[in-house]
Amino acid sequence: MNRKIVVAMLAGVFFAAGCGGGLKSIVSKGEMVPTFADTKVDKHYLWVRGLAAANPEHTSKMQKRAMSREAAVANAFQRSVEYIKGAGIIANVRVKDAISQDSTIETKVNGVVRGSEIVTTEYTEDDGCTVVLKIPRDKLQQMNVEFPEDSAK
């Protein structure tokens, strides 16, 4: 009987920890779900997701996963700086016969991310990677980062 109570209590703790904030998993059955949030601000953290595909030219699973994780971490840092500082956008679209052709969008951002922590890493069936990074909100406020009014929930 005591064992059942302990198991139930542990399950409750893990459930509460998983629901306590952050970004939800976007990997289901080895695939990315069709819709998800990339960024979330709550009263304690800025949460940012980074994504990367595996390079099909890499020959081993380890190499694919290691490199896709590094790219996902870099993507999360880029998105963090974009949120904190904004991003310069350069967009060009050429339209011919009412169809967009040669559409390019380039973003430029420059900044430093300090005090961040990678809290989850997940892989897709094809060895792509998604990571979630969290940055303490108080550290960002010390850098004079402004947050939307409703983000402190």
Give every residue of the chain whose pLDDT is below 70, as ranges. Answer: 1-21, 149-153
| Domain-located, residue 8 | no
| Domain-located, residue 9 | no
Range of the structural domain that residue 121 is part of? 24-152
Cα angle 142, 51, 65 (rounded to 5 degrees) comes to 120
Give pLDDT, residue 142. 84
| Domain-located, residue 78 | yes
DSSP string, 51-74: EEPPPTT--SHHHHHHHHHHHHHH
| Domain-located, residue 85 | yes
| Domain-located, residue 33 | yes
Give pLDDT, residue 111. 78
Give pLDDT, residue 46. 93
Domain count, the chain: 1
Q: Parallel, antiparallel, or unpaired for β 45-52 and 39-41?
A: antiparallel
